[in-house]
């Protein structure tokens, strides 16, 4: 059978927030990067025009009626489609395939990637406006739409995934300052996935009193951009995040154990915390022992390239 040619396709890189997490919610500096793992959205025609087929790794569903209940895993997809399209079932007669090549438990921006992909689909399908905005203007507009849809958050994730590379940002209400940063990851830095995922939207709703620490986190991020002292900045951030109470006990125990064994010098959580992805400053000569311990615990290293081009840049 002849394979239908896609009418729309986009790849969204994953993301990591390195420093300034939580601070970015209060207008202070944050630093993050795109990651060379990809969320792909593809719209392809099909013969049956009675439904829109939503397809992912987890489930496939034929959506016939706007009031029809979709499977739980696709509820966010249908909700975003309804917010972007007056009637998403204008896409009937197509298959919308949504795939990512990273695990949800890695906390690399699945939700923001989904929103970005479907926003680009809506713009492409409606052909409502020609591309007249700059890359930065388009990214800022998408951030504003995402925050309005979520009702919370900074939208930094979608900026990272739209623009790519290493990105510094300050976000104050609707005012956004972005700057690409030249950054080299030293051999002492490892990113480790534990598989223990915290939902960012839940963490944001539970936020209490974190604003009092935002200035310190933002200043630490600014200092890093001046001197790129990874060990000092990881130490400063972890100390502040522990005071905030967002570092899980299992992460504290790991840090103490690995420092005692001289496998690492410092450790911090990334993003909203919860311990899904850890940033380690290691002793390179002890890396074999550390990696053996990670494997035994069921953890795994992030080995994808960092600072890759963003979705909007690669899909011009």
Contact criterion met (CB below 8 Å) for 283 and 265: yes
Nearest-10 crossing angle of helices 214-227, 230-244 = 170
Estimate to the nearest angstrom the gap between the alpha carbon of 111 and the chain centroid: 7
DSSP letter assigned to residue 306: B
Contacts of 243 (CB under 8 A, 6+ apart): 213
What is the C-alpha separation between 81 and 69, in angstroms, rounded? 14
Predicted pLDDT at 132:
59
| Residue carrying the six token digits 């849809």 | 149
pTM: 0.91
Predicted pLDDT at 207:
52
| Residue carrying the six token digits 């239908």 | 4
| Residue carrying the six token digits 């926003």 | 119
Predicted pLDDT at 212:
84
Contact criterion met (CB below 8 Å) for 125 and 84: no
Predicted pLDDT at 1:
42
The b/e string for 127-154 (b: 16+ C-beta within 10 A; e otherwise) is eeeeeeeebeebbbebbebbbeeeeebb
Contacts of 201 (CB under 8 A, 6+ apart): 111, 150, 152, 153
The b/e string for 228-251 (b: 16+ C-beta within 10 A; e otherwise) is eebeebbbbbbebbeebebbbeeb
DSSP letter assigned to residue 174: T
| Residue carrying the six token digits 């997809």 | 77
Q: Which of the residues in the chain have pLDDT under 50?
A: 1, 203-204
Q: Which two tokens stand for residue 186?
A: 């030293």
Strand 60-63 relative to strand 8-19: parallel, antiparallel, unpaired?
unpaired
Please name every residue paired with 179 in a beta bridge, in sequence order, or none if there are none. 168
User: What is the C-alpha radius of gyration for the chain, rounded to an integer number of angstroms?
Assistant: 20
Contacts of 21 (CB under 8 A, 6+ apart): 30, 217, 237, 241, 270, 271, 272, 273
Give the number of other Cβ atoms within 10 Å of residue 267's Cβ.
23
Strand 300-301 relative to strand 189-193: parallel, antiparallel, unpaired?
antiparallel
Half-sphere exposure (Cβ direction) of 105: Cα atoms closer than 13 Å: 9
Contact criterion met (CB below 8 Å) for 243 and 55: no
Helix (H, G, I), strand (E, B) or coil at 214: helix
Contacts of 64 (CB under 8 A, 6+ apart): 50, 51, 89
Q: In which element (H, E) is residue 15 found?
A: strand 8-19
């Amino acid at each position: 059978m002849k394979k239908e040619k896609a009418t729309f396709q986009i790849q969204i890189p994953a993301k990591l927030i390195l420093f300034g997490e939580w601070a970015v919610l209060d207008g202070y500096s944050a630093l993050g990067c795109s990651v060379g793992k990809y969320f792909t959205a593809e719209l392809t025609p099909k013969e049956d025009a009675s439904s829109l087929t939503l397809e992912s790794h987890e489930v496939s569903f034929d959506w016939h009626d706007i009031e029809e209940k979709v499977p739980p895993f696709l509820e966010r997809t249908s909700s975003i489609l309804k917010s972007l399209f007056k009637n998403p079932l204008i896409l009937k007669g197509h298959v919308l395939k949504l795939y990512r090549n990273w695990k949800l438990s890695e906390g690399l921006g699945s939700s923001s990637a989904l929103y970005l992909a479907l926003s680009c689909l809506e713009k492409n399908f409606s052909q409502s406006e020609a591309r007249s905005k700059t890359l930065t203007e388009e990214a800022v507009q998408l951030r504003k739409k995402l925050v309005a849809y979520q009702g919370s958050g900074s939208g930094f994730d979608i900026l990272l995934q739209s623009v790519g590379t290493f990105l510094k940002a300050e976000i104050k209400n609707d005012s956004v300052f972005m700057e690409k940063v030249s950054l080299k990851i030293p051999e002492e830095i490892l990113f480790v996935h534990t598989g223990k995922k915290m939902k960012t939207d839940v963490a944001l709703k539970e936020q209490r009193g974190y604003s009092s620490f935002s200035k310190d986190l933002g200043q630490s991020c600014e200092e890093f951009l001046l001197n790129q002292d990874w060990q000092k900045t990881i130490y400063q951030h972890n100390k502040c995040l522990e005071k905030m109470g967002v570092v899980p006990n299992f992460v504290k125990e790991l840090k103490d154990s690995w420092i005692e064994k001289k496998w690492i010098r410092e450790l911090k959580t990334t993003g909203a915390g919860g311990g899904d992805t850890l940033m380690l400053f290691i002793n390179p000569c002890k890396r074999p022992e550390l990696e053996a311990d990670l494997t035994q615990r069921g953890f795994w290293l992030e080995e994808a390239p960092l600072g890759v081009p963003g979705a909007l840049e690669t899909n011009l």
